[in-house]
């Protein structure tokens, strides 16, 4: 669950900026197919590469991970716990 949200957040940043994969590729210098892979299969991205992308996207690392964690926390709150049945 957690790792998938990293990809979703990368895609969300791109969407909020109205960037196509082609535009994001120009900004980052990373091939559009690789960016697409990172968005859809974030388990393949190395942390250093993620930080490079965030820097090129002009997104603070702390804010990025805060958004990821907030989504996960909100998601987990919606899941009924075993003892809540």
Per-residue model confidence as pLDDT tens digits over 5-51: 999 999 999 999 999 999 999 999 999 999 999 999 999 999 999 99
Q: What would the two tokens of residue 81 be?
A: 């716990």
Residue with tokens 């919606």: 78
CATH superfamily of 2-84: lambda repressor-like DNA-binding domains (1.10.260.40)
Q: What is the DSSP string of 60-77?
A: -HHHHHHHHHHHHHHHHH
Q: Tell me: pLDDT of 85 over 60.
A: no
Identify whether the C-beta of residue 38 lies closer than 8 Å to the C-beta of residue 53.
yes
69 vs 37: which has the higher pLDDT: 37
The whole-model pTM stands at 0.81
* The predicted structure's pLDDT at residue 19: 98
The span from the CA of 47 to the CA of 77, in Å, is: 27
Q: Tell me: pLDDT of 80 over 80.
A: no
């Amino acid at each position: 669950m957690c790792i998938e949200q990293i990809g979703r957040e990368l895609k969300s940043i791109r969407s909020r900026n109205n960037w196509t994969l082609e535009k994001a590729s120009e900004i980052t210098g990373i091939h559009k197919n690789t960016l697409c892979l990172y968005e859809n299969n974030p388990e393949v991205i190395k942390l250093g590469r993620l930080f490079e992308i965030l820097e090129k996207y002009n997104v603070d690392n702390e804010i990025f991970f805060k958004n990821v964690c907030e989504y996960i926390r909100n998601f987990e709150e919606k899941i009924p716990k075993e003892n809540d049945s």
